[in-house]
Amino acid sequence: MLSSKVIGDSHGQDSSYFLGWQEYEKNPFHETFNPSGIVQMGLAENQLSFDLIESWLEEHPEVLGLKKNEESVFRNLALFQDYHGLPAFKDAMAKFMGKIRGNKVKFDTNKMVLTAGSTSANETLMFCLANPGDAFLIPAPYYPGFDRDLKWRTGVEIVPIHCVSSNGYKITEDALEDAYERAHKLNLNVKGVLITNPSNPLGTSTTREELDLLLTFTSTKQIHMVSDEIYSGTVFDSPEFTSVLEVAKEKNMDLDEKIHVVYSLSKDLGLPGFRVGLIYSDNEKVVSAATKMSSFGLISSQTQHLLANLLSDERFTTNYLEENKKRLRERRDRLVSGLKEAGIGCLKSNAGLFCWVDLRHLLKSNTFEAEHSLWTKIVCEVGLNISPGSSCHCDEPGWFRVCFANMSDQTMEVAMDRVKGFVADNNRGSQKRTMWNTRRRSLINKWVSKLSAVTCESER
């Protein structure tokens, strides 16, 4: 007999978000070996600034050689390490996070818990803040992986905060209250609100006004506020990034034990394979429990050693953050421009590794069934893996998340050519259908006229 986790389907693997990946893996695009394959535009990876990190590593071979002051540190790193993490690494992370936030927020390493990526950090927070059957409110559309990360092993429920395109998906007081009431009607105990700032999948940073509203709401309801700030270093246009901790400081809530932040180097530095994340909290009990839980998913000592050296190089981090933002902005502009040429619009974005793309005009009907049909065609026939809005719990059919930072310039060109070809073919098909429908209506009208004439004559 196996556990319910094994035989159940609560993992969320049947989401179109994951199914698109499966299709891509069967037939991945390669510029030389498989030019007709599927281009991966459903993966939020940042590959635009690898060369900057590679150049730093070439200039510092002693770090990769596990040496310090020309002496080997291999034995120290190879032996068992305390799960609190290497002090040098935590110090470097604290300074790096402060730099991203314009040093308006300072981080105390005693309030940091190191985790194997943000996936582990978010799940650990759910274990610490909620019991099975409790709920967290999350602005929708939201990252499809949260259905797995926050719910699967913890038993925590998610109640979407319905945000709409008509106001740019801004979080409103009415939307918050509506989600809270819906949760209570479902007999769910609401333990907190979780946001991703900047938003995945929208590519927009949360405004000060929204953060103020969220903190007022969670404080009034006496529930937790979790801000996943994994994309904080990717904000490349105004408005600038504002951390929930900065607004909490302005509201004299900076020592609030119900405010928690999640961070990772997966997006800003493009290092998801390094599995580096953390939780930051003023709640001593949460920090203590989360630190104990971190023993189930530690960051290797070798990784901490390497990144402690890299992040401690002030000149490198300053240059990297600026150049990376510049490259992300240029790539975003290139995607938006290419889509515009094809007659496709996007939500105005200022951050992240993706755009929220409006394909509503390509739907055959205003339904999620039509969205699914369009998505299937784009993946299987056009050869582009993008994520449909329904996988992100969007209320409005026809929106898609399209990633742009995980490919070369040449691959981006291929993707844009395919989009333009698809839209052109679709428009030609629509014109043919329109011509046929017009002709059919004309024939029907003539037939009705003749029938009416015959009928009239017989009646006379």
DSSP string, 328-349: HHHHHHHHHHHHHHTT-EE---
Q: Residue 392: name the closest of 152, 194, 141 by CA.
A: 141
Catalytic annotation, pick one of 267, 280, 299, 325: 267
Catalytic annotation, pick one of 228, 256, 282, 358: 228
**Sign of dihedral through CA atoms 404, 408, 412, 415?**
negative
Contact assessment for residue 311 and residue 95, using Cβ atoms and an 8 Å cutoff: yes
- 228 is an active site residue: yes
Backbone torsions φ then ψ of 148, nearest 5 degrees: -90, -55
- 230 is an active site residue: yes
Catalytic annotation, pick one of 143, 169, 231, 263: 143
> Rounded to an integer, what distance in angstroms lies between the CA atom of residue 235 and that of residue 78?
37
Whether the bond into 139 is cis, omega within 30 of 0: no
- 143 is an active site residue: yes
Stated length of the chain: 460
Catalytic annotation, pick one of 38, 158, 171, 230: 230
> Rounded to an integer, what distance in angstroms lies between the CA atom of residue 459 and that of residue 62?
103
DSSP string, 59-99: H-HHHHTTEETTEE-HHHHHS---TT--HHHHHHHHHHHHH
DSSP string, 398-449: TEEEEE-SSS-HHHHHHHHHHHHHHHHHHHHHHHHHHHHHHHHHHHHHHHHH
- 38 is an active site residue: no
Q: Which positions are catalytic? A: 143, 228, 230, 267
